[in-house]
Amino acid sequence: MLEQQRTIKKSVSMSGIGLHTGAECTMTFKPAPENYGIRFIRGDLGGNPEIVAIADNVIDVSRGTTLGIGDVKVHTVEHVLAAIAGLQIDNIKIDIDGIEPPVGDGSAMPYVKVLQSAGFETQNSPKDYLIIDKTVMFHDEDKDIDIVALPLDDYRLTVMVDYQNPALGSQHTGLFDIEKEFVDDFASARTFCFLSEVEELADQGLIKGGDLDNAVVIVDRQVDEKDLKALGKKIGIKEEFKLGKNGILNNKDLRYKNEPVRHKLLDLIGDLALIGAPIKAQILAARPGHRANVEFAKKVRKLYQQKKLVKKYQLVKKEGVVFDTAAIERILPHRYPFLLVDKIIELDFDNRVVGVKSVTANEPFFPGHFPGNPIMPGVLILEAMAQTGGVLILNSVSDPNEKLVYFMQINNAKFRKPVVPGDQLYMELELVNKRSKFVTMKGKAYVDNVLVAEAEFMAGVVDKPKKTES
């Protein structure tokens, strides 16, 4: 795998119609600077709004992957992203003057050829690989879908599908060397659907740009000639429909014997590009689809964001510690004698955090609370929990160095056992709800696995006051 980031050498364009919208558009790939990532730019809209290609910006996965921010959208981006990721391009601008990329032949190959014609530019910064060091799993019980990432110092994918259809049956495929195999063995695998789905897709206002040159239609039910003609007319295809004898509408030849599952692997590569970083892992996927792919990408992206945070704040790696005191001071504004969390030992990005406070006899509040019977004040236990939660909250916003967390409400606070010198306080905070500027959390504090306090917190995230010159 490549070690340095790369972009393309020059701008290149292609034009055509979108698969689902049928809308004409021109798409131009442009070089981008280091650490820019992949961004779609709607050049046809005022202000040329950008959409970063990350899982957080996915707004629809019904029949493809759609990115959007507010009213700005780009449909069916997975094949474009697969071409970019398959060619190991890290930074690129995709200027598009419509709502959906040209479908080409239904595979990623048209994009690959255009990008190859631009040439590649090696950049100075190293690739920011996400190295999977523990198993990451996604399971959809209802649809029997499993996607797993296993530790591996490389990037490999294995995909299995089973559609319970004689024309398709069970299929599997694997990619073991993206540099050698992607272009020749996977980029030209076309999108497909079943004959039984075609009318439903048309009724939903989709596949307006679909035809038998950009999609493989698998025959999964018997239809008479009259119904076939009516179907072709309904979806606006002039070519006459025939059931054929090879299980593919109009006897179209497959490019590979297992082309459908190869296309599923292609889709998976494109959707995993939404992690926002290249990964090193063994990916195993059973019966994947866009919805599952994106949910898995979101899960892995959280892991990526968490690792970036740890790398940013924790300068010296310590076993069993996510953030030590020095790292916490880089995140929180609190200082002695009011910094009441010593270390963070667990951080599940945007979900949960566990902090530790070692309560010693030297705490400045013990001489007055209470003389001869030192007990940690309940309000300071709540403050320690709140500071632990503050680490979680500040790490969930885009610019934590410019923000403060102000706690607005503390509800249902209960103190179940005194905390005294020598105790080690374990504080678990779980994110319950997050809006743009307000966050709610549930917190529990333990000593020796015994619950000593609990409460619910509401906090506001505000801008730091601007420093004024005297």
Question: Which amino acid is located at 183 in the chain?
Answer: V
In 206-298, beta strands by DSSP E: 216-218, 279-286
List residues with catalytic annotation. Answer: 290, 369
Q: Are the CB atoms for 295 and 274 separated by under 8 Å?
A: no
Contacts of 75 (CB under 8 A, 6+ apart): 18, 20, 21, 60, 64, 66, 99, 100
Alpha-helical (H) ranges within 59-163 are 78-86, 109-118
Q: What are phi and psi of 26, to 5 degrees?
A: -115, 135
Q: E strand or H helix at 271, and its extent?
A: helix 259-272
CA angle 422, 427, 428 (to 5 degrees): 155
Question: Which amino acid is located at 227 in the chain?
Answer: D
Question: Which amino acid is located at 380 in the chain?
Answer: L
- C-alpha closest to that of 116 among 52, 41, 67, 182: 182
End-to-end CA distance of the chain: 54
Q: Residue 44 and residue 25: Cα distance in Å, rounded?
A: 10
Do β-strands 145-151 and 136-140 pair in parallel, antiparallel, or remain unpaired?
Answer: antiparallel
Q: E strand or H helix at 307, and its extent?
A: helix 290-313
Q: Residue 107 and residue 259: Cα distance in Å, rounded?
A: 11
Neighbour tally for 448: CB within 10 Å: 9
Do β-strands 66-69 and 58-60 pair in parallel, antiparallel, or remain unpaired?
Answer: antiparallel
